[in-house]
Amino acid sequence: MSCTALKIRLTLIIMSEEERHSILIVDDQSSNIEALKQILRSEYTVYTASSGKNAIELAEKLLPDLILLDIVMPVMDGYTVIAELKNSNTTKHIPVIFLTGLNSDDEEEKGLHLGAADYITKPFSLATVRLRVRNQIQMLIQLRTIERLSIVDQLTDMPNRRGFEKQLNSEWARAIRDKTIMSILFVDVDKFKNYNDSFGHRQGDIALQTLARVFKDTLKRPGDYSARWGGEEFIALLPNTDVNGSLEVAEHLRKNVEDVQVPCTEENALKITISVGVNTMIEGKSNSIEEFISNADAALYNAKENGRNRVSHFRQI
């Protein structure tokens, strides 16, 4: 029997038109700062700095979407500032437009070589500055949209494997730095091939979408991060979660999946179950990320070998 048709929707994560982007203006001349503020503050949140040192501090703290940077400044010139910005993992992706009185081809080439996105010479046209800023912000929006879409699974609207690995790398570094623990859940839909063969791949897709909603409804703590690993496999990261906490979350997830009804007109296709493998990062032990995941996978294998629809925690031998 055919199942109820459900539309697959991929939520495009695009900057809201109401969200104001931010710009950091760096110039040692207050008259230039005021002129730029006048033309930009109606569209953007504007921050200002009058020295290179202050500019770097503000960029690290505020992470503006764009920086307008003068070159000729006392103590630290614009070339030194952009070199510092591009050398930092925190600020290296912030686009910089040089806005300077240096108008030779060699100076412009040097600025662009150092990583500037654009180069405007003084005296500048306010209309030109406005348009070039708008162009940079538009390119930034497009790049961020592409980046976000590249880490979203189109079927379930969850993060995909690439998105999860990016998040895991960040949380792994944080856990080592702060000497905290975290846990991981490796999840597999039980006998999913049989489910697909019996009810069709479209119904299999609906089952996976239903499971994605259960993940969203179950893992609600700030920092919890779940993703579709691939096929019928899902994965979740639980920062600051010990063995007991991770087992509790995993069991809650397993029970919620067992209780949910998958939308379908055929009664036998209403139910799915999952097996869950759990692994907890051992504080002070420098396991690799690959081992962290593979041990969760080993725990998942153990759960499936022992009857499925259950939770198993990896135990170090």
The SS3 of residue 171 is helix
Beta strands across the sheet bearing 96-100: 45-49, 22-26, 66-69, 96-100, 118-121
| Catalytic residue chosen out of the listed positions 232, 233, 258, 283 | 232
Residue 69: name the closest of 25, 108, 39 by CA.
Answer: 25
Instruction: In whole angstroms, give the CA distance from residue 167 to residue 147.
Output: 14
- State whether residue 63 is helix, strand or coil: coil
How far, in Å, CA of 317 to CA of 162, rounded?
A: 31
| DSSP labels, 221-281 | STT-EEEEEETTEEEEEEET--HHHHHHHHHHHHHHHHH-----SSGGGS---EEEEEEEP
- Residue 186 half-sphere exposure toward CB, CA atoms < 13 A: 22
**Is 232 annotated in the active site?**
yes
Looking only at the bridges linking them, the beta strands covering 274-280 and 182-189 are: antiparallel
Angle made by CA atoms 228, 170, 175, in degrees to the nearest 5: 110
Annotated catalytic residues are: 232
